């Protein structure tokens, strides 16, 4: 039996939206050569709740990549999901930091 190991570089994308829409968007994106796992989540927050997904990318030992490559793929996929699923924002969780991305007008820096 073959066994391979590689460093663990896991990144997760947290985004609201429909799970079926996420699956379609991920299938489209992964045609470029990527594998992801999709889990439904419920977001519960002050005075509200909504459904969404957590999309996980791992450093797969059969086809190992550098940490920066996994992170870059997660960010690109996050932008793809945000646009395709008509969402305003998403978060990428890495091993050391969280990155929040928003395309909402009120979240953009002011230019005076």
**Does pTM surpass 0.85?**
yes
**102 CB-contact burial (10 Å; exposed 0-12 / middle 13-18 / buried 19+):** middle
Is residue 103 within 8 Å of 89, Cβ to Cβ? Answer: yes
Per-residue pLDDT, averaged over 66-85, amounts to 95
Tokens of 91: 């978060």
**pLDDT exceeding 70 applies to what percent of the chain?**
98
Domains of the chain and any CATH numbers: 11-102 (3.30.70)
- Taking only the tens place, the pLDDT of each residue in 9-60 is 999 999 999 999 999 999 999 988 889 999 999 999 999 999 999 999 999 8
pLDDT over 90, % of the chain: 75
Q: According to the model, what pLDDT value does residue 108 have?
A: 75
């Amino acid at each position: 039996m073959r066994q391979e190991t590689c460093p663990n570089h896991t990144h997760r994308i947290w985004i609201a939206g429909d799970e079926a829409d996420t699956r379609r968007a991920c299938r489209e994106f992964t045609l470029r050569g990527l594998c992801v796992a999709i889990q439904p989540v419920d977001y519960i927050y002050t005075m509200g709740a909504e459904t969404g997904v957590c999309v996980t990318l791992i450093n797969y030992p059969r086809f190992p990549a550098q940490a920066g490559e996994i992170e870059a793929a997660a960010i690109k996929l996050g932008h793809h999901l945000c646009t395709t699923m008509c969402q305003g924002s998403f978060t990428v969780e890495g091993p050391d930091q969280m990155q929040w991305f928003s395309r909402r007008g009120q979240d953009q820096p002011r230019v005076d």
